[in-house]
Amino acid sequence: MSSIHGVKSFAGLRSRATQVYFGSHPLWVADLEDIIRSKRALGRPKDRAVLEILEKTRNEKEKEKA
């Protein structure tokens, strides 16, 4: 993968990512806002189909912080 739609650089993406563990294996998970931006930029039906769920999830997480 050489680029991600809606994301300017892998370095920026990585700096906002969170490391989680799957068993004993570390995985990097993109920030929710980066995922939303990418899905919106792609605009494919399968990406548009999940945007509402992702945005609601983001909004709920923001409410928890407040």
Each residue of 25-51: pLDDT tens digit?
999 999 999 999 999 999 999 999 999
In a domain, 47, yes or no: yes
In a domain, 55, yes or no: yes
Q: What is the mean pLDDT of the chain?
A: 91
Residue 38 belongs to domain spanning:
10-65
| pLDDT computed for residue 3 by the predictor | 67
Please state the pTM of the whole predicted model.
0.80
Helix axes 45-65, 32-42, angle to 10 degrees: 150
In a domain, 60, yes or no: yes
In a domain, 23, yes or no: yes
Q: What's the total number of domains in the chain?
A: 1
In a domain, 48, yes or no: yes
In a domain, 22, yes or no: yes
Residue 36: how many other CB atoms lie within 10 Å: 19
Q: Percent of the chain scored above 90 by pLDDT?
A: 74
Q: Residue ranges of the alpha helices (H) in the chain?
A: 10-16, 32-42, 45-65
In a domain, 46, yes or no: yes
Residue 12 has pLDDT above 90, yes or no: no
| pLDDT computed for residue 9 by the predictor | 78
